[in-house]
Amino acid sequence: MPETSQAFPGVNGYDNLDTNEDGSIDLYFGPTKPEGAPESNWIQSIDGRDFIAALRLYGSGVEFFDQTWIPDDIVRVR
């Protein structure tokens, strides 16, 4: 985890994240929180440094393995 001013720069299943009406979750990565982004859904990165986003699944259902559920790509937002 990067050394940032954010206590725990990451999210997991125990976090209380804001969800969209369809049940999906938007996560935001960046050195500063984007305007309008919920604090709970923002992961602080270090300005000028690359980062790796990793998705770790525990006890995932068959939907992951038969690929009826596929995580979306990371999209740059300005």
pLDDT above 90: residue 13: no
pLDDT tens, residue by residue, 37-48: 999 999 898 899
Runs of H (alpha helix) within 1-78: 62-65
pLDDT band at residue 58 under the 50/70/90 scheme: confident
pLDDT above 70: residue 69: yes
Distance CA 7, CA 25 (A): 21
pLDDT above 80: residue 59: no
Residues contacting 53, CB < 8 A, separation 6+: 29, 74
Distance CA 71, CA 78 (A): 21
pLDDT tens, residue by residue, 17-39: 999 999 889 999 989 999 999 99
Q: What are the sequence ranges of the domains in the chain?
A: 1-78
List the one residue out of 45, 5, 15 whose CA is nearest residue 28.
45
List the one residue out of 8, 7, 9, 37 whose CA is nearest residue 25.
37
More confident residue, 45 or 8: 45
